[in-house]
Structure 1
Amino acid sequence: MCTRERKPREGSLTLDERVEIAVGIRQGESLAEIGRRIGRPRQTVSAEVKRHGGVKGYHPLRAQDAADRAARRPRRGWIQTRPEVWDQVVACLKQWWSPEQIAVFLRHEHPDDPYWWVSHESIYHAVYVQAKGTLKAELVSCLRRGRTRRKPRATVSERQSRQVIPDMVMISERPPEVDDRAIPGHWEGDLIVGKGNRTFVATLVERRSRFGLLVKIDSKDAAHVAERIAAKVSTLPEHLVKSLTWDQGREMTNHVDLAVAADIDVYFCDPRSPWQRGSNENWNGLVRQYLPKGTDLSLHSQADLDKMAISLNQRPRKTLGWKTPAEVFNKDVTLAA
């Protein structure tokens, strides 16, 4: 019987292994002995033999041909075979939960029922590949990035050269206690840009708790930015305002005024190094669900921004052991009090 050559799926039995199984059967070896000889679990060999004729009828070429046909046969996805799970996933996506949050939630809710277990990669695949039409468009828009196709995080484009900000203190001079996130009160910040590169919102994230704030900004004027950020952080408990790390954007030219007004140390990242403000970059991605790129950010009042921040701070985070940023931040407030 002629078999069509194909590249086997990773982990699947090869034709050579099937021939070895047939040889072992003829020589009277047990299935466990065959498994040890070819480096496969006994259960794998047993299932293979049972599926393709049993001990008396097993033939490696027929087994390979059947495996090839099965690999080419369209299979129903889990969204068809487990509709209740898919319905729950869709409901969570529409609340802007991430696929990873949903996967962990389902396991916590159904710890003893694998029917409800689904990986975050399977959820991404279902959204981008299996969902169709308007439902697909709606679900893709609910994902943090809102891309029509899933792709790896893009390389950060080269920014235009900037004038050096006077009196910068670089991140290399930041105290070691900031890096290990053991002590609260150290923040990261950035400006996100809206329509026509003329509307802005400042984002602030506390490194230990991942608790975030949004600040309405009317212009990119450095004095204005410093004033608004100082006003916002001055509403926080004093022990939770120790340092702020920013990139080298010109909006932070008046960082000395900010440091004096808010009694906070300001540090600057190296050029083109957004990973040095990783928590803030992650927060910006979450914020874009509420403030999409290209929209007019000036339409949102400070009260609107505060509501968005509250919603985001109440989402469970994997990095916090699935606690919410609000829980961790409020605990730090209480402990100090």
Structure 2
Amino acid sequence: MITLGTATLSRFQRGALAQLVSEGHHTYQDMADALGVAKSTISYELDRVNPYDPELAQQDADHKRRACGRHSILTPSLTILITNHLRLTWSPEAIATAFNLSTASIYNWLKLGWLPFNLADLPNRNVRQRRANEHRGTFTSGTSIEQRPKSVNQRLAFGHWEVDTVLSSRGQSRACLVTFVERKTRLLWAIKAPNRTAKTLNDTFGKFMGTFGSQVKSITVDHGKEFADYRSIEQDYQIKVYFCHPYSPWERGSNEYFNRRLRWFFPKKTNFDQITTDEILAALELINQRPLKIHHQQTAIESFRACSD
């Protein structure tokens, strides 16, 4: 019989103890004095393995030594749960909050390779925060973002969107995604367009309005030439178009952030001519169904529906 406990004797001492036990006439104190340990150590050792076998005692001690210390809570089922949500583009922070885990632990498991997910594949990893140069055409007219109401700037008002484009790989195709983010709720929408001309942008915006209609009160864009015919948008839909300062993508921070989320599904080399509407809608659903810290773990869809009621 082997009982639980922590070994304190060396392999040599266990061999010597076995010899003393086999002689049959030594007291616990005699054996303790011979081995240079406390009497209680001998008592514990002999109670732990009975009848005493030094090899069994050593194996038991080695097993307990390996099992001691701090243990990871990462079980196979938890590994699957975390990995599946990472593949759904949930952040480690969102997963930790949803399932009562430590964010630091999830990052540590990723760094140690204990999760079958590459740390570098997390959305928003190693992202350049600003574009150094803009190579497309621009124009300078329009209402400046400086005139946008304070309630819109502070995300207090619903129905104000940021609009941008996500391009195909350079040289492959002119097709792109026109992306829309509602500033208050962070709902993301995207529509494929064959190119970035002003006419195509306005046609695409018409499709967007066909879906969201009265839930659009203003849009904020940059000075790309695809937005040159903004007056038609203002007149046709009775909404206001605001323009960011040149080379200032951070003024459309939500759009920039969620475009990067979209890029997780459609990387830089994507040819959008080859991407279907169903694939785009599937990516949007996954992004919009993620719990957001800014909404106290409510999803963008839930927040949008609450504001729409």
| Same fold, TM-score > 0.5, yes or no | yes
Residues 161, 181 of structure 2: 8 Å contact kept: yes
Structure 1: distance between partners of 2:131 and 2:138: 20
By relative contact order (CA 8 Å, sep 6+), the higher-ranking structure is 2
Unaligned 5+ segments in structure 2 are: 1-67
Which amino acid in 1 is paired with 2:90?
W
| Residue 301 (structure 1) aligned to one of 259, 276, 287 | 276
Unaligned 5+ segments in structure 1 are: 1-75, 108-116
What is the DSSP-based 3-state SS (H/G/I as helix, E as strand, rest coil) of the residue aligned with 2:260?
helix
> Is 1:135 matched up with 2:110?
no
Structure 1: distance between partners of 2:246 and 2:280: 29
Matching residue of 1:236: 212
The alpha-carbon deviation at position 299 of structure 1 amounts to 1.7
Matching residue of 1:286: 261
| Residue 83 (structure 1) aligned to one of 74, 85, 99 | 74
Which amino acid in 1 is paired with 2:225?
R
Structure 2: distance between partners of 1:251 and 1:93: 35
The alpha-carbon deviation at position 220 of structure 1 amounts to 1.2
Residues 181, 255 of structure 2: 8 Å contact kept: yes
For the structure 1 residues 231 and 261, does the alpha-carbon distance in structure 2 shift closer, same or farther, using more than 3 Å as the test?
farther
Matching residue of 1:179: 153
The alpha-carbon deviation at position 333 of structure 1 amounts to 1.8
Q: Give matches, 1:198-237, under 5 Å.
A: 198-237=174-213
Matching residue of 1:253: 228
For the structure 1 residues 155 and 188, does the alpha-carbon distance in structure 2 shift closer, same or farther, using more than 3 Å as the test?
closer
The alpha-carbon deviation at position 307 of structure 1 amounts to 3.1
| Residue 106 (structure 1) aligned to one of 84, 99, 102 | 99
For the structure 1 residues 92 and 246, does the alpha-carbon distance in structure 2 shift closer, same or farther, using more than 3 Å as the test?
same
TM-score (norm 1): 0.64
Q: Give matches, 1:1-337, under 5 Å.
A: 81-84=72-75, 85-107=78-100, 117-119=101-103, 121-127=104-110, 129-131=111-113, 135-137=116-118, 140-141=120-121, 143-145=122-124, 151=126, 153-160=127-134, 164-165=138-139, 167-196=141-170, 198-238=174-214, 240-334=215-309
The alpha-carbon deviation at position 209 of structure 1 amounts to 0.9
What is the DSSP-based 3-state SS (H/G/I as helix, E as strand, rest coil) of the residue aligned with 1:81?
coil
For the structure 1 residues 290 and 77, does the alpha-carbon distance in structure 2 shift closer, same or farther, using more than 3 Å as the test?
farther
The alpha-carbon deviation at position 317 of structure 1 amounts to 0.6
The alpha-carbon deviation at position 235 of structure 1 amounts to 2.4
Which amino acid in 2 is paired with 1:186?
H
Residues 162, 180 of structure 2: 8 Å contact kept: yes
Structure 2: distance between partners of 1:172 and 1:249: 18
Which amino acid in 2 is paired with 1:214?
A
Identity in percent: 29
The alpha-carbon deviation at position 77 of structure 1 amounts to 12
Structure 2: distance between partners of 1:200 and 1:269: 21
Which amino acid in 1 is paired with 2:141?
D
TM-score (norm 2): 0.69
